[in-house]
Chain A
Amino acid sequence: MEEEKAHIVPYRTFLIVLAGLIALTLISVAVTQIALGTFTIGMALLIATIKSSFVLGIFMHLKFENKLYTVVVIAVIVLIASVIIITLMDYIYR
């Protein structure tokens, strides 16, 4: 099977993404020091999700791979979330 020329990500890209990730980390720390009640955890998880999408997309190369990989990764995440939500359905409504 022939090898097409592999996609090379420039060092710069990784460093820029890293800077963004560190910034997001510090933002999440700052934001959660403010008492937002029940939204604190939501905000923190939202930022975590944004960070994850950068790690998945750039560091793990998903952005440059066949779209099918991204679809399956999202499907697995949705699966885990569904199991959590359905289980919580028991606890919330007891």
Chain B
Amino acid sequence: MSIRTDITEPSYLEYKGKYKGIFSWIFSTDHKRIGLLYLFSILIFFAIGATIGLLMKFELIAPGKTVMEATTYNAFFTLHGIVMIFAVVIPGLPAVFGNFLLPIMIGARDVAFPRLNLLSWYLYVAGVTMVVISQFAGQGPPDTGWTFYAPYSFRTTGNMLPAVFGAFLLGFSSILTGLNFLVTIHRMRAPGMKWLRMPLFPWALYATAWVQLLATPIIGITLLMVVAERTLHIGFFDPSLGGDPLLYQHLFWTYSHPAVYIMILPAMGAISDIMATFSHKKIFGYNFMVVSSLAIAFVGYFVWGHHMFTSGMSGTALYTFSLLTFLVAIPSAIKVFNWISTMHQASIDLKTPFYWAIAFIFVFMVGGFSGLILGSLAANVHLHNTHFVVAHFHFIVFGGTGFAFFGAMHYWFPKITGKMYDARWANIGLVLTFIGFITLYGPMFYLGFEGMPRRYYDYDEVFHAGNILSTMGSWVLYSGLAIVIINLIASVKGGSKAPADPWGGKTLEWTIPSPPPVENFEEIPEISSGPYDYK
């Protein structure tokens, strides 16, 4: 595929259509602009969530009250969770990079339902607005944790309804995005792009879309039940009326476990593409990568009980869920093996996206192994609700999805903006982020193992040293992230002009100009070979 140099049509950034100014963005149905609308919103909420995290860690630098009351701490960890999970990581890669890149990578001009795509973003904005409102209106912010466990969630005086409704809207946004991507991939691949010629990022989005579609409605109905419990005293989760709080946990986690696969699958897809490009080598075991994505999506549906090992489930449920949890780790392990094998005897280009990918593999493995430890019934009794769990999910969600997000940001930055980022500052930011990350979350494994509980604003003096180290890590991490993000923002204006293919990539996005024209392709390409067609 040769790179066209004669295209004079405007890029999607310069295009002048029916609307002017800000309206040309918030009324746009161009998948590329919608991707950027999501990026803008998600970065704002990431900053909010990260700042709350920073304040939480500052409270924990010493036992007892440091800067806030216990009730504030409860509200903070609730908001931190709601924002990070529902407003940042779940939409994350699909909403930003899926929207921007999916049509291009399969040779299409847009997604199947562009107006539905814009509606998804509107629902996102409405959802996060409700979450913000929940902080200030009524009787005080919610303090249940992002998990909204019954019976506290229907007894607390905190503002549950706006928060729950916000989560509902965000879920609806996710469902519609998944629906859109499924139809797009089924119906709009370019001629010759058979299923097994699709790159791994679209494949990851495909597997993810099924989970978005089929898992999210469960949390939708569960949240509606919480509303009914709070307002109508319907009794589903209230023991005094015959309900079982554990049933809430079953329903909640039936979605929220597949949700973590919504978070990680696109991340893995992005890492695969980055690995192939910077190794200048076809990804090792492409077919296994495809099957493992689908397997993770499928098996991931049946492991939710591992969040409830100490809640009072039956013995049968316990060992069924534990066994399935171990099984779901296998496809992930296959992926790690294949990424490393891709690098073997490859001609590696040491660039920022590649460094993020390496960092990802390391922290993802730590997160994954700690997940297996938690998946073991006996160990779980000791570790549940301790900081060990907090370390596990930050390694795998922040380290996993988060690092992949930053890797993807740098990888596709030239394509999206038409500029090159400053590599020196990008790498400085990465190193600081990595050091801060390990310093912040590493000690939590030890603290949790030694018995420090999670979601408590106070702790025993014996945990003090570990917490000081952890909190200092949060400062380094925060600074690193600031450098990373500010560098990217500054590079939008000040970066050097990017060519269509700065990395020697072989997927379709590198055959069109940077930034792309509105309709992506002058002519829809005809595909005659698989992706990663390196010689």
Contact = CB atoms under 8 A, between A and B. Distances in A.
- Are chains A and B touching in the complex at the 8 Å CB cutoff? yes
B214 A86 contact: no
A93 B317 CA distance: 8
Interface in B281-322: 301-302, 305, 312-317, 320
30 contacts: A76-B214, A79-B214, A79-B301, A82-B301, A82-B302, A83-B254, A83-B301, A86-B302, A86-B305, A86-B317, A86-B320, A87-B247, A87-B254, A89-B314, A89-B316, A89-B317, A89-B320, A90-B246, A90-B250, A90-B305, A90-B313, A90-B314, A90-B317, A91-B314, A92-B314, A93-B314, A93-B315, A93-B317, A94-B312, A94-B313
Interface in A52-94: 76, 79, 82-83, 86-87, 89-94
Given A76-B214, A79-B301, A86-B302, A94 B314 contact: yes
A83 B258 CA distance: 13
A79 B302 CA distance: 10
Interface string B240-263: 000000110010001000000000
Contacts of A89: 314, 316-317, 320
Nearest to A93: B314
A92 B317 CA distance: 10
Interface residues on A, range: 10 to 19
Contacts of B317: 86, 89-90, 93
Contacts of A92: 314, 316
B16 to A, nearest CB: 31
Contacts of B254: 83, 87
Interface string B208-248: 00000010001000000000000000000000000000110
B310 to A, nearest CB: 13
A79 to B, nearest CB: 6
A87 B301 CA distance: 12
Nearest to B313: A90
Q: Which of A83, A86, A90, A93 has the most CB of B within 10 A?
A: A90
Name A's interface SS.
helix
Please provide the 6 A-B residue pairs with the shortest distance between their CB atoms, ordered closest to farther. Answer: A93-B314, A90-B317, A93-B316, A94-B314, A90-B313, A90-B314
A93 B320 CA distance: 12
A94 B313 CA distance: 7
Contacts of A79: 214, 301
A83 to B, nearest CB: 6
A53 B246 CA distance: 34
Given A82-B302, A92-B314, 14 more contacts: A79-B214, A82-B301, A83-B218, A86-B305, A86-B317, A87-B247, A89-B314, A89-B320, A90-B313, A90-B316, A90-B317, A93-B315, A94-B312, A94-B314
A76 to B, nearest CB: 7
Contacts of A83: 218, 254, 301
Contacts of B305: 86, 90
B427 to A, nearest CB: 45
Nearest to B321: A86
Contacts of B301: 79, 82-83
Contacts of A93: 314-317
Interface in B305-344: 305, 312-317, 320
A91 B316 CA distance: 10
Given A76-B214, A79-B301, A82-B302, A87 B250 contact: yes
Nearest to B311: A90
A91 B314 CA distance: 7
A41 B315 CA distance: 28
Interface in B399-436: none
A83 B246 CA distance: 15
A94 B250 CA distance: 14
Q: Which of B218, B302, B317 has the most CB of A within 10 A?
A: B317
Nearest to B250: A87
A94 B301 CA distance: 22
A91 B244 CA distance: 10
A91 B218 CA distance: 19
A42 to B, nearest CB: 22
B242 to A, nearest CB: 13
A44 to B, nearest CB: 23
Contacts of B316: 89-90, 92-93
Contacts of B314: 89-94
A83 B317 CA distance: 12
A82 B317 CA distance: 13
A79 B250 CA distance: 15
A86 B317 CA distance: 8
A79 B214 CA distance: 9
Nearest to B316: A93
Interface in A6-50: none
Contacts of A91: 314
A89 B308 CA distance: 14
Nearest to B301: A79
B225 to A, nearest CB: 14
A93 to B, nearest CB: 4
A92 B314 CA distance: 8
A65 to B, nearest CB: 14
Contacts of A86: 302, 305, 317, 320
A87 B254 CA distance: 9
B159 to A, nearest CB: 30
Contacts of B246: 90
A82 B254 CA distance: 11
B243 to A, nearest CB: 13
A65 B315 CA distance: 44
A91 to B, nearest CB: 7
A73 to B, nearest CB: 12
Contacts of A94: 312-314
